[in-house]
Structure formats: C-alpha cells, structure tokens
Amino acid sequence: MQQRTKTVYTCFATDVIHEGHLKIIAEALKYGNVTVGVLSDRALIRYNRFPTVSLDRRIANAREINGVSNVIIQDDVMYDKIISELRPDYIIHGDNWLTGPIRAIRDNAAALLSEYGGHLIEVPYSYSENIDLIEKRKRAALAMPEYRRKRLRQLISIRPAVKAIEVHSGLTGLIAEKTVIEHNGELDQFDAMWISSLCDSTAKGKPDTELVDMTSRFRTIDEVTEVTTKPIIFDGDTGGQTEHFVYTVRTLEKMGVSAVIIEDKTGHKKNSLFGTDVPQTQDNIESFCAKIAAGKKAQLTDDFMIIARIESLILDKGMDDALQRAKAYVNAGADGIMIHSRKNTPDEVFEFCGSFRKFDKITPLAAVPTSYSKVTEGELAAHGVNIVIYANHLTRSAFPAMQKTAENILKYHRAFETEDDLMSINDIITLIDEI
Ligand code: SPV
Ligand code: MG
C-alpha cells in the first residue's frame, strides 16, 4: 500500500522572508509537503510584530518560496484552528519559541499535536548579521512618523479595544513597548501609549495645571519616540488658545503622534479627578467647536486624530449636556470622543456610550477607567468603547516603590535591606540595548 505524503506546517510572523525562513523550509521539505501559514494583521499585532507590508504581499512572498505546496492565512497566534483543520503530521518552528511568553504557543501546539500523534520539529534559530539588520530596519521603519502616526487608526479598525498605557520618559516608553505577557494561554501587550499631562507634570515635580509648557511636553514625546514604535496619544490638556493649538497640531503630526485629546475646559485647568472640589470652568460649546475645527483645518495628514474630551460628567453637568456636546464636537470635525468620569462604577460611562451609539455608530470612543478600575476592557468594548486608557498607572506604581527604598536606606543606614526590592545590577546595566 502506498504511503500518504506527510503534511508539514510552518507559520511565518514576518514581513520579509530571509535565510532563516528558507532554512526552515529546506528542513520541512525533508518530511513531506509543506504548507506555510501567514499570520493575519490581527494576529501579527498580538505577536508584537506590527505589519509594514500588506497581507497580500506577505502571502505572495510565501508563495514565491521554492518547494512550498500551499499558503494559508493563520488568523490567530495560537495554532488550534489550523491544527484542527489541517491536522499536519509535523509542525516545524525555530527553537526561539522555547523561551519567553511565546513558549505558550509552542506548548499549546505540542499538546494539540500529541492528541493524534503529530510531531513538533524545532530547528536551531538562525542568528546572522543580515537577519539582525532586517529586524532593526523593520523596527526603524515602524518608528518613523509616517508609520507610527497612522497606526492608531489601523489598530482601531482591527482591535476590539485599543489599550494604551501612560508613559512619561524613555524608560516608561520601553515598558509600554516591550512588555508582553502570557496568561491563560493568550499573549497580550499594550497597543499604544498615552502621554498624560498629570504624569508628565508629576515626573517634573510640577502640578497638572498646564504649567509644564508645550516645548517641554514635546521633549517628552521626543524621548519616547526615540526608543519605541507604538502609537502615541497625547494629552493636550485644553489645547490652550485656539491660535496656539493649530501650531501644536502641526508639531504633533510632524513628530508622528497619532492623536491629541483636548478637554473642554478653559482658564486655570486642574486635574479632572479633583471633580468639583476645585473651581473649574467648562468651555462653551461654540468656542470649543471652533478650537476643534481650527485644529482639523490646520492638520496636513489624513492620519492624525483630534479627539474631543467631554468634562460634563466630571463637573456634574449631566448626561444630556455630555451628549449634546458629543454631537456638536463630532459635527465640528472631532475624530473621536473621550468621555471622562470620576465615579467608582462604569454606569454613567456605559449610559453615555449607549446613547451616543444610538446616533453615531462610527466615531471612536475613548474611556479612562481610573476611578472605575473594576471594569474590564471587554466590558468597555461591549459598550462601544474603542480606546481604553490606563492614564497614570506606571507613575502611581513607581512612586511608592521609590519612596519605600529611600525610607529603608534612611532607616538602616545602608542599602542591604532594600536589595530584595531591587532589580539586579546585571539587569540594570544590560536593560538598554546598545547599537
Ligand atoms: C491625565 O492623565 O493627565 C488625564 C486623565 O488627563 S485624568 O488624570 O484622569 O484627568
Ligand atoms: Mg491630563
């Protein structure tokens, strides 16, 4: 009886086929007919590899490889669907997936294969100067303003909810950029960064009152863009005078920022989470609409977004006022609406989103679940929220840790007792990659 030709599957999470991939294909061909899976955009993003070329191009690249019998799309980083549909005899992969969070993908594939006697083949991962250069060039391309700027709009169209974390320096930028976790068999990471006025000011020891000027805020953006590729949402406070805001928009666009969020307050702005404990003045609708319209007129790219932030719930002005403003701001050209709340449940945010979505199904909505932190991203997305911003969490976690270390050194007149709380010297001196 003639033996059935074996099926070998390999999946590529890449924009460029290089010698490492060709080595895997050469090895795979020894075992049978080779099917290559090309990760979809959605899956590549989960994998922390934002695509720089289209899915069609990536498929064409895979088809051009000699010896490949079949090219299919893999729409999830996990192999469950592929394995159940294709039932490959072998899955072949570089052994780099034995370490780090992607080990979860490997273990999952191995378990599924073992259910029917399939095998995993792991080939030594190829490191070469050329592969290294390809990786570096890709990262450099993603960091360029024209790629980075449009990435937020791309993510909004792909992700159920884009999640952004606060950053205020190169170091916090690196945490947002590189933190990938595996939890319950899923990989996760942040999609975007929020340059918070609160945290940017706090890092400089200044109050969050628009005291830190725009030139200094732009310096923070520079620090962050220097070492990251993910898109930036900039907290533009009130946007300042309309005559100045138009210049801010141009500068942010040029720097590759994806969106500015401006809040409808005027005068001596204080942080929203003070609520009505401090005097704060909400701008009138006409004047704020004029600021949005002027910003939209000034912008030069289609990618950049001006998101209008509504403070009506913060200032106890009521739901009707918030909704009336939302309508007006969208009509004035706002590319998105951020609804802010300082309640400890998400109820009023959900109510706003429900009413807003009755008359506007498209305009992206952003929420900042600081005071209502029990809500999950999934719940917010189910109510129509597109962007979830964790607005201050890196600063709030770093400060108590630093304070405790300072107190312990004072207490014990030496540093030994702090050691358990510290990263190792080796970790800190190797944390930042050298070129
Ligand atoms: C910020 O992070 O600076 C914000 C959000 O504007 S909030 O602090 O909640 O006002
Ligand atoms: Mg702010």
Pull the structure tokens for residue 185: 């068999």
Q: In the chain, what's the furthest Cα-to-Cα distance? A: 87
Q: What's the pLDDT score for residue 228?
A: 96
| Nearest one of 360, 328, 357, 322 to 343, comparing CA atoms | 322
User: Quick one: 42 and 186 in the same domain?
Assistant: no
Q: Are strands 180-183 and 186-189 parallel, antiparallel or unpaired?
A: antiparallel
| Nearest one of 260, 343, 353, 274 to 308, comparing CA atoms | 260
Beta-carbon neighbours within 5 Å of ion ligand 2: 197, 235
User: Quick one: 364 and 258 in the same domain?
Assistant: yes
Q: Which of 15, 191, 200, 208 is catalytic?
A: 208
User: Quick one: 184 and 112 in the same domain?
Assistant: no
Please give the distance, rounded to the nearest whole angstrom, from the Cα atom of residue 147 to the centre of ligand 2.
26
Residue 197 placed within a domain:
yes
| CA–CA distance, 79 with 58 (Å, rounded to integer) | 19
Atom of ligand 1 nearest to the CA of 314: 10
Domain limit, last residue, from 102, 133, 164? 133
User: Quick one: 376 and 325 in the same domain?
Assistant: yes
CATH code: domain of residue 40: 3.40.50.620
Pull the structure tokens for residue 338: 């951020």
Task: For 364-385, write each residue's pLDDT tens digit.
Answer: 999 999 999 999 999 999 999 9
| Nearest one of 191, 193, 182, 194 to 160, comparing CA atoms | 191
Q: What's the pLDDT score for residue 3?
A: 66
User: Quick one: 169 and 269 in the same domain?
Assistant: yes
User: Quick one: 160 and 270 in the same domain?
Assistant: yes
User: Quick one: 176 and 66 in the same domain?
Assistant: no
Residue 1 placed within a domain:
no
Residue 29 placed within a domain:
yes
Residue 138 placed within a domain:
no
User: Quick one: 168 and 310 in the same domain?
Assistant: yes
| Nearest one of 110, 104, 105, 113 to 84, comparing CA atoms | 113
| CA–CA distance, 251 with 244 (Å, rounded to integer) | 11
* 272 Cβ closer than 6 Å to some ligand 1 atom: yes
Residue 139 placed within a domain:
no
If residue 55 lies in a helix (H) or strand (E), which one and from where to where? helix 55-63
CATH code: domain of residue 327: 3.20.20.60
Domain count, the chain: 3
User: Quick one: 113 and 162 in the same domain?
Assistant: no
Task: For 225-264, write each residue's pLDDT tens digit.
Answer: 999 999 999 999 999 999 999 999 999 999 999 999 999 9
Residue 170 placed within a domain:
yes
User: Quick one: 81 and 166 in the same domain?
Assistant: no
CA 38 to chain centroid, in Å, comes to 22
| CA–CA distance, 174 with 433 (Å, rounded to integer) | 11
208 noted as active-site residue? yes
User: Quick one: 150 and 236 in the same domain?
Assistant: yes
Residue 67 placed within a domain:
yes
Task: For 390-426, write each residue's pLDDT tens digit.
Answer: 999 999 999 999 999 999 999 999 999 999 999 999 9
User: Quick one: 84 and 229 in the same domain?
Assistant: no
Query: What is the domain range of residue 294?
Result: 144-391
In this model, does residue 294 exceed pLDDT 60? yes
